[in-house]
Amino acid sequence: MRKQACGVVFLIIVVLLISAILYSAISWMWDDQRLPLSNLVLQGNLHYVTAKDVQDAFSHLDHVGTFMSQDVDTLQKVVMSIPWVEHAAIRKQWPNTIKVFLTEHQVQAIWNGNSLLDEHGVVFDGDIGLIKGEHAKLYGPEDSAPEVLAAWRHYNPEFLKLGLKISSLVLNERRAWQIILDNGIRLELGKDSLDERITRFMALYRYFGNKVDKISYIDLRYDTGAAVGWFPEQEVEQESTDDKSDR
């Protein structure tokens, strides 16, 4: 009996000792003063987001904890607040490293003059001054970005056949469309029959030949025909037929 009692006491001592060691180890790992997450590894094919941007985003937290205490979801939400970030994947690496893999928005167009539009029609607030290359300027009411982007993608290839590009595409509050081409010609298209009206423009553009550089605008908001406006230094001419269907 005495041996059994000694064995039980020994077992209890061992369990208490192991528990104390585990408690001490866990407390040590959860202590924000011990091995804080202080090393950042940034990955991804990045052109606009820098490690400093991520560090600045993390600085808005009260503090970045340890490997044990810091919630990865919290870090991800903070990183997603960086304007250029489309997707973020974050994981912790023992003992003090945060690994951040980022995907950036791919710019498709400038939206309403002061925002950017990505390939999925998502509006984001990246710095326009940083973007590389030329991009079309798209305008529209709130929540119309995917529709306007789809229209630009559909019609711009048609203008490319004439050696032109859409510089600006506007959908106004009345749901009427306007296009400004890279040679400065403005097209008033109205609300309906866009395919037919753009086809009509193509025919007119070919018809005018080398006179097209004197055209200021073409109003196609007619059932048939169009009104052509010329630059002021030229004699003002207009060709129009029928009443407008949706002016």
Q: Is the pLDDT assigned to residue 3 strictly greater than 80?
A: no
Domain of 132 in residue numbering reads as 107-230
128 and 100 housed in the same domain: no
Same domain membership, residue 91 and residue 179 = no
CATH number reported for the structural domain that contains residue 67 in this entry: 3.10.20.310
In a domain? residue 30: no
What would the pLDDT profile of 193-219 be if each residue is shown by its tens digit?
A: 999 999 999 999 999 998 999 999 999
Which pLDDT band holds residue 236 (cuts at 50, 70, 90)? very low
65 and 154, same domain (yes or no) = no
Q: Same domain, yes or no, for 94 and 138? A: no
Average pLDDT of the chain, as a whole number: 86
Q: What is the mean pLDDT of residues 114-133?
A: 94
Give the pLDDT confidence score for residue 237 in this predicted structure: 46
Q: Residue 27: which pLDDT band, with cuts at 50, 70 and 90?
A: low
Across 163-173, average pLDDT: 97
Same-domain status, 217 and 122: yes
Here the contacts of 90-98 (C-beta below 8 Å, separation 24 or greater) are: 92/37, 92/67, 93/41, 94/67, 95/35, 95/67, 96/35, 96/36, 96/37, 96/38, 96/39, 96/66, 96/67, 97/37, 97/39, 97/40, 97/41, 98/37, 98/39, 98/40, 98/41, 98/64
- Our count of domains for the chain comes to 2
